[in-house]
Amino acid sequence: MIPLLSATRLTGTPSAMAAATLSYDGDPDDRWGWVGTEFLRTYTDDGARRAMTDLRTFIDRCPTVTSSGPGIASSHRLAIAPGPRLGDDSIHVSSSATSGSDPLVFDTVLVRIGTALVVVKEQGNKPGDNGYLTQLTEAAVRRFQATGS
């Protein structure tokens, strides 16, 4: 999970939240499988705009994060790029986590639509393979614009 999305002191308190998860395990040679998750956060103020600004600032300042615990050490690398042309603002965050020799790749697209933040994350994808991510993000944004949820 992108740290800022769970840190209310940085992104403000959303007025509403929802989440859905989709998984696909069709490749028996790929031990991770693929998981896509969609989050919707709405704010009564400019929290969505601040979340995008805070996330850009965080990744610019700290593109590598190392964490450790009892018997566990991992390194997370983050990179930010422009997102698809959706909503009022969008960004694409690429991240990888390595614990031992097993890397796990995550890609996330965040789209701000007014005071709402639509976030679509995929994990278990191959590096550079974002075929599902773009499709799911476009569908999530269309649904939000049509229904508000």
Q: What is the pLDDT of residues 6-47, one digit of tens each?
A: 444 445 566 656 666 565 555 555 555 677 888 888 888 888
Percentage of the residues of the chain whose pLDDT score is greater than 70: 72
To 5 degrees, how large is the angle CA 71–CA 74–CA 77? 175
Query: Per the structure block, which two tokens stand in for 119?
Result: 């976030």
Q: Is the pLDDT of residue 86 over 60?
A: yes
pTM for the whole structure: 0.79
CA atoms within 13 A on the CB side of 80: 17
Mean pLDDT, rounded, for 119-142: 82
Nearest to 92 by CA among 72, 113, 71, 107: 107
The whole-number pLDDT of residue 21 equals 58
Higher pLDDT, 30 or 81: 81
Please state, in angstroms and as integers, the Cα–Cα distance from residue 56 to each residue in 32, 65, 75, 81, following that order: 28, 15, 19, 9
